[in-house]
Amino acid sequence: MRAVLQRVSQASVTVDGAVVGAIGPGLLVLLGVGQGDEASDLDWLVDKVPSLRIFEDAAGKMNLSLLDTSKAMLVVSQFTLYADTKKGKRPSFVDAMAPEEAKRTYLAFCERCRAQGLTVQEGVFAADMKVALVNDGPVTICLDSRAR
């Protein structure tokens, strides 16, 4: 699984002109599920994302996680994180997991983060979404469960 985390002061997702998810300070998580991802990949990401210490403490050091703060998470499905651009000019997405299974994994990620007490907003899986954000820092971190 791959995730791009962006520390934000605010973020929202709009589908067909309606806001379907929005947060104030927290993390925008672009989440991709790849062919061959297993339960251990999901476990790793569910543990890593909420506990990653990328929010500033009173001394201005990145020392706090989502679990340490009252910040929220907006999770957006993003199969294009598995784009293969090695050949030609058009990306291939054959490494992305099939939509039905990817959706189950995406929803499981969201639910398991909520189970840790986090406020989690979602985009709409497989929809044409418009994502708006104000990157705070900017802080952007890429995670890949297979590179752990």
Segment 2-49, tens digit of pLDDT? 999 999 999 999 999 999 999 999 999 999 999 999 999 999 999 999
pLDDT band (50, 70, 90) for residue 131: very high
| Average pLDDT over the chain, rounded to an integer | 97
The residue type of 139 is V
Alpha-carbon distances of 12 from 18, 76, 78, 121, rounded to whole Å: 10, 10, 15, 9
**Which residue is catalytic, options 6, 78, 105, 121?**
78
For the chain, what are the domain ranges?
2-147
Spatial distance between the Cα atoms of 116 and 39, rounded to a whole number of angstroms: 18
pLDDT band (50, 70, 90) for residue 135: very high
**Which residue is catalytic, options 6, 14, 55, 79?**
79
Per the CB < 8 A criterion, the answer to whether 58 and 106 are in contact is: no
Please tell me what DSSP assigns to residue 97.
Answer: P
CATH number given to 2-147? 3.50.80.10
Alpha-carbon distances of 105 from 39, 82, 108, rounded to whole Å: 9, 15, 5
Spatial distance between the Cα atoms of 51 and 93, rounded to a whole number of angstroms: 30
Per the CB < 8 A criterion, the answer to whether 45 and 3 are in contact is: yes
Q: Residues for the chain: how many in total?
A: 148
Q: What is the mean pLDDT of residues 90-104?
A: 97
Q: Supply the pLDDT for residue 31.
A: 98
Per the CB < 8 A criterion, the answer to whether 130 and 74 are in contact is: no
Q: Tell me if residue 78 is catalytic.
A: yes
Q: Tell me if residue 80 is catalytic.
A: yes
